[in-house]
Structure formats: structure tokens, C-alpha cells
Structure 1
Amino acid sequence: MASFSRFPIVLHPQLRRALPRNAQRDLRGQLFTRLKSQQAFRPPKNETVPPKAPEPNATSPASSTGPSTTPAQHARTTIRRGPPERILIYSSGAGKTVFLGAMRLTTVFIFGFACVLVAPGFDSATYSEAIVPAIIIGGALPMLFVAYTAAPFVNFVHLALPVYARRSREQAIEYAKNLPPTATLYLNTMRFTTMPRHTEVQLGDLVRERTLFRPVAFRNTKPKPVPWWTGTAPQEFYTAEQSSSGPNSPAFYPEVWEHVYRRIQSNKPPAQNSK
């Protein structure tokens, strides 16, 4: 009870003055000692306790000397950082592609205008019976001419890379400069409706070709069969010797097409190979 009543006496000034001097001195000393002991265990305000370092675990991969990865994971990571499965090696240029597409659409509109608006106006007794078919044929000639001459025009050429050539850009270029005959190329041309058409060919099946009626650079000697509703597979193709500036992409290799084009031009037709 005496110890419980000490703190009110010390805090209350009138009760503290009523005590003798010796008792006042003893209470002040006890209070000072208790405050000092409490401050000794209290950390400073500006001091931060450093975080405890995690203990190494023998079962975790971080405790080992290096990252534990399997050969399959390492191969997938390396391929993911390298070129994709198909790289772009030739681009005709956006200007040429847009020009040919606009020309195709223009000739289609001319043919429709001649058949729908012009020809019915001359279908009367005052005009000859041959004038209506002549207008329809005259409107169809530009469309057929553009469709035939622009059919071999190639917009893009993609090259399929094997797994070992996808580790880096340097290995992809080295593979593209020394392609085997079984290397797969994907030629992108334009349909009659301006829709893209993809043709899969092998490098050994492409030979040099020249015609008088339309521009052709090479042809495919072994075209693959296609469904009947897609029409006949294109066999003749036209590209320039060098690729133009295409999209700004890490998967674009314009320096490769010059070597591929020379390789195609040096291939011999099947008749000469049999000899």
C-alpha cells in the first residue's frame, strides 16, 4: 500500500511538500531511477532496425552456386531471345503494294461502271446490237490485263528458320546465306480481290524464268495442290534483286534476300538436272 501511494504523493505538489525532506529526496531518486531504466530499453527515434537476413535454405535454388535450369528450359529461353520461327527477308515496299492494289480496284470499278451504267444506256433500237457487248468487253480488258500482269508480283517473302538458327541474328544470317535446297519460303502475293495469298515453296524447286507478256523472275517447278475453291496455285513470281526498306522490325533481314535471289537464279530446271 505504501508503494502504491508513492506516485500520487510525488505528482501532487501539496502532498509532496507535506512530507519531510528526506522522504521527498528518496521519492525523487526512485522516480529518476525508474525513468532511466525505461529509456535504456527504448531505441532512438532516428535509428532504424536493419532487416534480418534470410537464412539459406538447402532445398531452395538460390542457395546453390548457380541457377538450376534444365537443357530444355535453357533452349527455350535462348530461342525466345533470338529470331522468330519466320523472318522477313524481302519486301517490295509499301508504295508498290498500294499502287498495285489501287490499280486493281480501279479496273474493277471501271468494269462495274461499264456493265451497270454505260451498257444499259446503249441497249435500244437506235444503236447497233454489237455496241453493248463491245462496251462490256472494253470495260473488262483493263481488269483482265492488270490481273494477269500483276499476278506474279510478290509483296513479301518469309524464310522458315530451324531451331539451331534461331539462337541469334548472326546465326540466322549465316544460315540464310547458305540455305539447303529443302529450305522453306513463304511468298506473299495478291489475289484478284486484293486479298493476300500465301504460297509455300522450297528453295530447290524455284528456277529462273523469263516471259514476254508479264514480268517474271522465277517459277515453282513443283507446285503443291490447293483446294479447288481457292483457284490454281501461282507458279510464276516476280521480285527485285534487292529488298526495299520494309518495316522497322527486328525480324526483318533485308540483307539476306540478295543471297537467296542469286541462289534461285543459279538453280537449274529439272530437265537439266536429269542429264
Structure 2
Amino acid sequence: MHFPLFPVNELQKLDSTSQSSAGFFDHQELFPERLLVYHAGTGRTVFLGSLKVTTIFIATFFCAVLGPTYFYAENESPWVSVIVILSGIIPMISVLYMTSPFVNYIHLRLPPFARNSNELMRRFTKTLPRDAEIDITTMNVLGKPRVARMKIQDLSATNERFGLVNYVRDTKTINKRRKWWMGKAVRQFWRSCGEGEYSGG
């Protein structure tokens, strides 16, 4: 069973933001095609991106430097080097596992008619159709943004990875069409249930 991504109260917040930004967009006549409706926060995004990269560097150092050093040391057991290597790999795997579903941004894709005026845009967001398209931005292993485009009806609420994932989508059909070197499409997402940052553009 599928559930809408945006609760009613959040759409109302988006509507109020659009009204406050009306003066800015009036002279441009059009809203942007991609409307930012959720932002996890710059500080949190930068921290998680830095954490991913840091754990990768630490794991590389433990595996390439410390591990061989203890392995070839005459007064150390070979098991010590294994423990050292694992102490670098395990934190990296844990961080990548826990942070991979983290959602940085969600952009709502406005159809052409909804970009022509504030009133049309507000009507569209108040009665958001389930086939409306959204772009969900997450981070890859190195903290680089990756964008997954889908319809709202493709998402369903869930509780996976001990609460680290609260939305999923079916990616079987998408993965069949993807080239092997592109990897699998993002299936799991974690969107904060707290207050996000909203923007009118």
C-alpha cells in the first residue's frame, strides 16, 4: 500500500512559503521547474558527507599502513594485524550502511501550467496528484549528490534497517533497464520526520 510523501501540514507550509515569495516571482512570471520542498539542513548534510569521506580515509590507512606494519612486526602475532584492519573497516561499513538512505533534498517538479502564477501553483500543491514527480537527492559513498526521480505514488512508507529507512520504492523494473556499470537504483530513503527547511525556489 502506498502513502503520500508530503503530509497535509507540510503542504500548507509550502503554500505559505509560496505566498511569502510571491513578490519575488511576480516579475519573473514563472516558478522554477524544480521547487525545493524539503531540505535536511546544510550542517547535517555537510557533517554526514565529511563523515563518509573520513571513515573511508581511516579504513584505507588502517588497511594499507597499520595492518601490514603489525603483520610484518617480529614481536606481534598475525592476528593483531587482522584486528587492526577490521577496526578500520567495520566503522566505515557501519557509517556507509547507516547514512546511505539519508535524504538531503526533495524537489517537487511543477508542471508548466502550475508555474504560470502563484494561484495555480498553490492549487497544484494543495491537491497534489499522486503521479506528481519529485527528485530525491541522497549521497553516494563519497558524499557526492545523487538524484532519484520518481512519482509520489511510487513511494511507500515502511520501517526498515531498524528505523533508518522510512520510505521505499520498487526498483526492479528500473534496474532491468540500467546498464551494469551504473549500479542499482536507490530503493531506500530516510527522510527526517522533524522540521525541514522549505524554500519557494
Q: How many residue pairs end up in the alignment? A: 172
Name the CA shift for 1:150/1:227 in 2 (closer, same or farther; >3 Å): same
Contact residue 88 and residue 158 of structure 1 kept, 8 A: yes
TM-score (normalised: structure 1): 0.58
Q: Is 1:99 aligned with 2:51?
A: no
Aligned match of 1:108: 56
Write the distance in 2 (CA, Å) between the matches of 1:210 and 1:250. 30
For 1:121-132, list aligned pairs within 5 A. Answer: 121-124=69-72, 125-132=74-81
CA deviations 1:200-242 (Å, max 9, x no partner) are 1111111111024351121112462333223221111111235
Quote the residue 1:234 is aligned against.
186
Match of residue 146, structure 2, among 187, 197, 208: 197
Any residues of structure 2 matched to 1:125-274 within 5 Å, and which? Answer: 125-222=74-171, 224-225=174-175, 226-241=178-193, 243-245=195-197, 250-251=200-201
In the alignment, structure 2 segments of 5+ residues that lack a partner are 1-25
Cα RMSD of the aligned pairs, angstroms, is 2.1
Taking the aligned partners of 2:142 and 2:87, their CA distance within structure 1 comes to 20
Q: Is the 8 A contact 1:186 1:201 kept in 2?
A: yes
Structure ranking higher on relative contact order (CA contacts 8 Å, 6+ apart): 2
Deviation track 1:164-183 (CA, whole Å, cap 9, x = no partner) reads: 11112332232122222211
- For residues 93 and 169 of structure 1, the distance between their equivalents in structure 2, rounded to whole angstroms, comes to 26
Aligned pair in 2 of structure 1 residues 179, 242: CA closer, same or farther (>3 Å)? Answer: farther
Percent identity of paired positions between Structure 1 and Structure 2: 33
String of CA shifts for 1:23-79, please: whole Å, max 9, x gaps.
xxxxxxxxxxxxxxxxxxxxxxxxxxxxxxxxxxxxxxxxxxxxxxxxxxxxxxx99
Deviations for 1:241-268, whole angstroms, at most 9, x for unmatched residues? Answer: 355336xx641xxxxxxxxxxxxxxxxx
The answer (yes or no) to whether the contact 1:183–1:202 under 8 Å persists in 2 is yes
Any conservation in 1 of the 2:136–2:148 contact (CA below 8 Å)? yes
Q: Which residue is 1:89 aligned to?
A: 37
Code of the aligned partner of 2:185: A
Query: Does the 8 A contact of 1:100 with 1:150 survive in 2?
Result: yes
Bigger shift: 125-134 or 156-165?
125-134
Gaps of 5+ in 1: 1-77, 252-275
Given the two structures, how large is their TM-score scaled by the length of structure 2? Answer: 0.77
Structure 1 residue identity aligned to 2:186 = P
Does the aligned pair in 2 maintain the 1:219–1:237 contact within 8 Å?
Answer: yes
> How has the CA–CA distance of structure 1 residues 204 and 250 changed in structure 2, closer, same or farther, with 3 Å as cutoff?
closer
Larger Cα Rg: Structure 1 or Structure 2? 1
User: In the superposition, relative to structure 1, how do residues 152 and 212 fare at CA in structure 2: closer, same or farther (>3 Å)?
Assistant: closer
1:190 Cα deviation from its structure 2 partner = 0.2
